[in-house]
A and B are shown apart, each in its own frame.
Chain A
Amino acid sequence: MANLRESSDKALKLLRTLPRVQIGNLRPNPNSKQNDKRGRAQHGGDKHGAGNKGSGQRQNFMRLGYETGNQPFYLRFPYEPYYKGHHLRRQYPPLSLLQLQVLIDTNRIDISQPIDIATICNSGLLTLKPAELEYGFQLTDHGLDNFKAKINIEVQHASEAVIAAVERNGGVIRTAYYDPRCLHILANPKKFFQKGVPIPKRMLPPQDAVAYYTDAKNRGYLANPEEISKERLVLAQKYGYELPRIEEDPQYEMLTAAKDGRQLFYGLEPGWLINLVDKVIVKPKET
């Protein structure tokens, strides 16, 4: 309401200073005048817009898509097997190491905190569209050679070379699964908290993804942590770098901070209700 009053006040102010409104001062309004469609006289007569010969002039129109006898395009393909199961195929929009390095260098992402989907989406430069079957980000190897940041990052897919690039710099990378409801929440956490709904639990990955997320080679969040430590050495040997001693890093606690398998946000448990207005967390009673 206040906006409307402001704009009408502005309009009235303008009216007091501008010259008198007359027909000569007005701007033409496009599409306000329609030309008369007369099927007679010089421009409307003769063939009356029907062209020459053919089905068009003889008013015997062919149906849409008809190709004068040959099999029309819209009937040529009885089935399209490449679309089978397309509604089940998960997509992982890419985030290259180069992009990530730029984001870190321009202070869009704070590397003193663990990075996850919420961090990346909160930077404002990348969006996730879970409704279009985007199940999270994949870290790609573009910019592999120049990646220099030490981070604790959680993505949904990463190749071996990318994992090596992150671990070479003393960082930690993890791949984790989020179900669609949780993805919607993480893509815009503020919007979710404003709803006043308790934080839900994260669900397990679908059957075809379980093998990926329980494999230490992929640094899966459900993989054996001891195997992951061993695989770090294996990868360091494969890619030819000295594995940095992460236990001696002063940021060890931050780098090894990991969410639980059912947790959505760092430091917040499922079931908690965040009240942003009163700045209070409401927790369920112990049963």
Chain B
Amino acid sequence: MNKISCAFIRILQHSNSYGGATVLGRQLSYKSDLSLDKIYPNVRLQLYTPPPPPSDGDKFNGYVPMDKLEITYSRSSGPGGQHVNTVNTKVDVRFKLAEAKWIPDKTRAKLLKALQNKITKEGYFCIKSDLTRSQQLNLADALEKLRAIIRAQEVEAASPSEETLEKIRRRQEKAARQRLQLKRGRAQVKADRQGPSAVDF
């Protein structure tokens, strides 16, 4: 082995890098046929934190800023022995609905109207969950419930089609016809119970 390769090996031995060695300031990580830059070219290989998705105008994009919610934990109810008695698995998620800028304005207005009986005096809307034995899974459940409530307000109920409206109209008319027919029949029966009058002679 010549002196250069000996030097390289010594450097590699003392290198405390994980994926590969750093020689002369450059990364010498091993790249095989399965390295990610070969399978996915033109892609950001380093892990990064993407920014929150932009708001879609009128539609709720599903993003809930966690710092705007007040989350508290408490003990759950129901059976469960020592675990349910001692571990805080119940999750309470609260926020002021009128000041929630992360919900689109139109949807927020609809929510205020739909949930007006459920909002507290201070203006908080609260969601609780004690579905599972785990605090984290309960938090996920509470957020899922929140998103479902918000999305339900955005769904426009489908109006009935022309055919359906036509069917309903025909049914109503038939019902009216039958009712009147029955009524006329009964009136005739009652009239027949009377004796013949001067008109009949």
Contact = CB atoms under 8 A, between A and B. Distances in A.
Interface of A: 113-114, 141, 144-145, 161, 164-165, 168, 172, 201, 204, 222, 224-226, 228-230, 232-233, 237-247, 253-263, 266-267, 269-270, 279-281
A219 to B, nearest CB: 10
Contacts of B40: 224-226
B39 interface: yes
B47 interface: yes
- Bin chain B's interface residue count: 35 or more
Interface stretch (B17-25, B157-165, B188-196): B17-25
B121 interface: no
B19 A144 contact: no
Interface in B47-106: 47-50, 52, 62-64, 66-67, 69, 71, 87, 89, 93
Of A113, A238, A242, A270, the most chain B CB neighbours within 10 A belong to: A238
B13 interface: yes
Interface in B106-151: 134-137, 139-140, 142-144
Contacts of B89: 145
Given A242-B66, A260-B32, A229 B137 contact: no
16 contacts: A113-B18, A141-B134, A145-B89, A225-B40, A226-B44, A232-B47, A233-B50, A243-B49, A247-B48, A259-B19, A260-B29, A260-B34, A260-B35, A267-B18, A267-B21, A281-B9
B139 A240 contact: yes
A2 B36 CA distance: 55
A240 B66 CA distance: 7
A interface majority secondary structure: loop
Given A113-B18, A281-B12, A263 B30 contact: yes
Contacts of A245: 49
Given A232-B49, A253-B18, A267-B15, A261 B136 contact: no
B156 interface: no
A225 B9 CA distance: 31
Interface of B: 9, 12-13, 15, 17-21, 29-36, 39-40, 43-50, 52, 62-64, 66-67, 69, 71, 87, 89, 93, 134-137, 139-140, 142-144
Contacts of A258: 19
A161 B64 contact: no
A263 B32 contact: yes
B31 A260 contact: yes
B49 A246 contact: yes
Given A259-B19, A267-B20, A230 B50 contact: yes
A257 B32 CA distance: 16
A50 B1 CA distance: 82
A254 B18 contact: yes
Contacts of A241: 66
A256 B27 CA distance: 14
Contacts of B87: 145
A228 B40 CA distance: 13
B47 A246 contact: yes
B18 A145 contact: no
A224 to B, nearest CB: 5
Nearest to B42: A226
Nearest to B62: A237
A26 to B, nearest CB: 58
A156 to B, nearest CB: 17
A144 B134 contact: yes
Contact of B34 (A230, A262, A269): A262
Given A113-B18, A258-B19, A262-B32, A164 B63 contact: no
B18 A240 contact: no
Closest 7 CB pairs of A and B: A261-B34, A257-B18, A262-B32, A240-B139, A269-B30, A145-B135, A226-B44
